[in-house]
Structure 1
Amino acid sequence: MRKIRTWVGVAAFVWMSYTYKLSTKLSETADEQVDKSWTSALVLAATLPVVVGVLYYLAAPAARRDLLRRAGRCFGAIVAMMAAASVFPIIVLSGFFEGEEPLVEGHFTATKGLMLAVLLLVTFWVLPFVVLGVGLAVQHVFRTADIHETVPPLLIMALAWEMALIDVFTGAHEGVPTLIRFVFILGSPLSVTAVGLWELHRLRVHYGLGLRGLLMR
């Protein structure tokens, strides 16, 4: 259901972009979707500690230590992604590749070897890790099912409404008729909330999993 909702949303966004000339090229539309995914991952990373803090406050004292232990895996996923993403600005700001002759010219030196190793690491490991990690982080909600099965739908619902607020305050989809614009802005959080509530219902009815189990209340 999540995948269906996501693909319907992407198709609707592409239709809106081309119908109202928000993007003239498919690459521009794809770039905008990538930027939105990265923003979602950052907002989710900022929201997770708040949610964990609220759950910690609400949980029974006997459940708090286990809650933090489980949440540690999720925070580890956040740190890994942020650390990988920070490699690019660090390289640029350090000027590591500036002022050096091309790697393919002249004699091979230790400095060139180091530069080549860094370039290969960034190209074949760090870059794919960040690109795939952003999508997986949002899809799996930073592994928050490790905390409890009910946490991912709760976080996804919160994220959807936060992204809608960001769209409102940043003037997203300018140039689109007002009614269509607000249908798109509100359609995402409303559909995500519907799927999330359905997921919570199924977890409770079919598997006996509810927030009370996490909080030990």
Structure 2
Amino acid sequence: MLRDLRGAEWPPLRVLLRGGRARIHGCSWALLLFPCTWTLVLPLMACYVFARSARSRAHRLFPPRGPRPIEEPLVTRVQKARAWTAAAMSVLLLAVYGKPEDISEAQELYMMRLVVTPVLLLLSAPVIIALLFRWASPRTRAEMRPRMRAALRSSLWYIGAVTAVPLFAVAITLLEQNSTTSSGTSGTTPWFAVAVVLPFLWVLFFLGFATGPAVRTAFNTAAVHAALPALLTGVLVWEFWVISLLAGGLPPGPPVIQLLAVIGGPVSVTAVVWWEIHRLRTLYGVRLRA
């Protein structure tokens, strides 16, 4: 069953309770029949149903292995080598010159990048797509339009889910305040609370399952143009560079080491990006301009 949970589709709750048998296992019936277990078992079952539904919708909109127009194994290996080298250099820099506050600051910057990445993608991708669409030939534009519409639909789902989170939080806060002021005299408040909390739970599960694939596929914009993933990577690395300088300042170490650490990351990423675009142009005929 664990292999099924890790697969593309989670099994329904009744199949999970049967555990591969023709009937539901006796242990499952025992947990369901004893009231003392309801406070634990029933919420877990409800969470599984909501998580399965949200995961199915998230992976339908953002497939975990989203298709890319052109797969380049050599480029992928170079990208991974550059990423591991950058991570090793960052750890070495902190180990040699870093202080405890520098380590905590690096952790905060990493968490900030995780939060900011979807926002930057949603802001940067339309600009780059608009430039590529303007530069493309009429035939290429006709091919890009349906892919752009599909990417827009999935992006609107994600934006709607992110927007719904603070709205649900405000609604839950207002319901809590209403319940405390009314001292439980209104019998409709618990039902309103359930009607708000359950969709809120589903939205949180959806964002949890959708964010990773959405970032990896750049909200399905990778299928719009073969060079778009590389261009987005090149733009994002310089946006992160500006954010890191404004939020965290210079890394620890002597001035020369600081300069190399600040410039080395975005410059190396940009070099790999333009090398990838060069390979796409020479090997596959991909053009940024018509």
Q: Into which bin does the TM-score normalised by the smaller protein fall?
A: 0.7 to 0.9
Q: In the TM superposition, what is the alpha-carbon distance from 1:120 to its structure 2 partner?
A: 3.6
Of 146, 150, 160, the residue aligned with 1:83 is 160
- Is residue 20 of structure 1 aligned with residue 99 of structure 2? yes
Query: Percent identical across equivalent pairs?
Result: 26
- Is residue 119 of structure 1 aligned with residue 119 of structure 2? no
Matches within 5 A, 1:68-217: 68-94=145-171, 95-101=173-179, 110-123=188-201, 125-168=202-245, 170-174=246-250, 176-177=252-253, 178-206=255-283, 208-211=284-287, 217=290
For structure 1, the 5+ residue unaligned runs are none
When residues 12 and 114 of structure 1 are mapped into structure 2, their CA distance, relative to the original with a 3 A threshold, is: farther
Q: In the TM superposition, what is the alpha-carbon distance from 1:167 to its structure 2 partner?
A: 2.7
When residues 146 and 24 of structure 1 are mapped into structure 2, their CA distance, relative to the original with a 3 A threshold, is: closer
For structure 2, the 5+ residue unaligned runs are 1-76
Q: Give the AA of the match of 1:49.
A: P
Per-residue CA deviation, residues 82-131 of structure 1 (Å, 9 max, x unaligned), is 221122221234444432549xxx799554234234324433x3224324
When residues 161 and 175 of structure 1 are mapped into structure 2, their CA distance, relative to the original with a 3 A threshold, is: closer
Q: Give the AA of the match of 1:183.
A: L
Checking the alignment, whether the CA contact within 8 Å between 1:141 and 1:152 is kept in structure 2 is: yes
RMSD (Å) for aligned C-alpha atoms = 3.4
Q: In the TM superposition, what is the alpha-carbon distance from 1:163 to its structure 2 partner?
A: 1.8
How many equivalent pairs are there?
207
Residue equivalent to 1:64: 141
* Higher Cα Rg, which structure: 2
Q: In the TM superposition, what is the alpha-carbon distance from 1:32 to its structure 2 partner?
A: 3.5
In structure 1, how many angstroms separate the alpha carbons of the residues matched to 2:84 and 2:274?
19
